[in-house]
């Protein structure tokens, strides 16, 4: 199986739960190559406890083709737009930006637990 190199931006309630799920899949086709979180969240500490470095969005973008899938789990449309613009400016046509909707699909396929729901939060592309 080919390993998918993923990065997660946003380690709030949803990002933290998703990170925990992805950490459980290390070595089974998933490699976490970057996580970004600007706040002091439980997910940030979880990432540090797992031996991951907390990086900036710019550092993740700089990985270029070293990121197959970038999960934007911030819930902030401006961040998703910034990610797309920075990938385009770099000429990166490889990295796929996955929204919370895709994370929810993956979650449904890989976990029996419920992923947190944040009322009023947009999950579309």
Residue 32 has φ and ψ, to the nearest 5°, of -85, 115
Question: Is the residue at 125 inside a domain?
Answer: no
Residue 122 lies in a domain: no
pLDDT, average across residues 17-29: 88
| Residue 50: pLDDT band with limits 50, 70, 90 | very high
Average per-residue pLDDT in the chain?
A: 88
At 123, the pLDDT band (50, 70, 90 cuts) reads: low
Evaluate whether residue 120 is within a structural domain: no
Instruction: Quote the pLDDT of residue 99.
Output: 85
What pLDDT shows up at residue 100?
A: 83
Domain holding 79, by residue range, is 4-109
Beta partners for 5?
A: 31
Q: Is residue 61 part of a domain?
A: yes
Whole-angstrom CA distances from 109 to 34, 85, 103, 104, 121 are 23, 30, 10, 9, 22
CA distance 75 to 48: 22
In a domain, 64, yes or no: yes
Q: Is residue 37 part of a domain?
A: yes
CATH code at 57? 3.40.50.720
Model confidence over 63-102: pLDDT tens digits?
Answer: 999 999 999 999 888 999 999 999 999 999 999 999 888 8
Is residue 27, in this structure, part of any structural domain at all? Answer: yes
Average the pLDDT over each of 41-45, 65-69, 116-120 and give the range with the smallest value.
116-120
**Position 115 in a domain:** no
8 in Cβ contact with 36 (< 8 Å):
yes
Count CB neighbours of 23 within 10 A: 16
pLDDT above 60 (res 18): yes
Rounded to an integer, the average pLDDT of 37-55 is 93
Count structural domains, the chain.
1
What's the CA gap between 104 and 106, in Å, rounded?
5
Q: Regarding beta strands 30-36 and 54-55, do their DSSP bridges make them parallel or antiparallel, or are they unpaired?
A: parallel
């Amino acid at each position: 199986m080919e390993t998918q190199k993923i990065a997660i931006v946003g380690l709030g309630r949803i990002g933290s739960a998703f990170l925990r799920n992805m950490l459980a899949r290390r070595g089974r086709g998933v490699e976490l190559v970057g996580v970004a979180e600007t706040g002091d969240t439980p997910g940030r500490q979880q990432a540090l406890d797992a031996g991951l470095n907390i990086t900036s969005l710019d550092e993740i973008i700089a990985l270029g083709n070293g990121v197959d899938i970038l999960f934007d789990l911030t819930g902030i449309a401006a961040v998703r737009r910034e990610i797309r613009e920075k990938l385009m400016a770099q000429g990166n046509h490889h990295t796929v930006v996955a929204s919370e909707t895709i994370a929810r699909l993956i979650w449904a396929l890989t976990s029996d637990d419920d992923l947190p729901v944040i009322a009023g939060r947009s999950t579309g592309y």
